[in-house]
Amino acid sequence: MVMADTIREKLTRGLAPMSLEVIDESHRHTGHAGARPGGETHFRVRIVATAFEGVSRLDRHRMVHDILAAELADRVHALNVSARTPGEDTAAS
């Protein structure tokens, strides 16, 4: 399975997001630490979920990292996370 699909599936199952974007940015990190041939090492996640209501920014990131712990321990070197509530997402638009 492609890593982006695994990330998408696990976050969907764990947080039931209203919106979720998983972007493989590995190509931008070729030659950097953690980069491997074939990519799938550096990702950007933009997630909007009611599960983040009343949760600090740090704890939102922890929630995402906990769900993806196996991937972060193995193949994913870097994960850039934007975790927002539906209200925050509407205010930003």
Domain boundaries, the chain: 3-92
Contacts for 12 with CB less than 8 Å, ≥ 6 apart: 20
What does the pLDDT read at residue 29? Answer: 47
Looking at domain 3-92, its CATH class is alpha beta
* pLDDT value for 77: 85
Query: 30 pLDDT band (50/70/90 cuts)?
Result: low
The model's pLDDT over 46-89, given as tens digits with 9 standing for 90+, comes to: 999 999 999 999 999 999 999 999 999 988 888 999 999 999 98
Site of tokens 């979720």: 20
SS3 53: coil
β-strand partners of 24: 43
Residue 42 — pLDDT band, cuts 50, 70, 90? confident
- Residue 86 has a pLDDT of 95
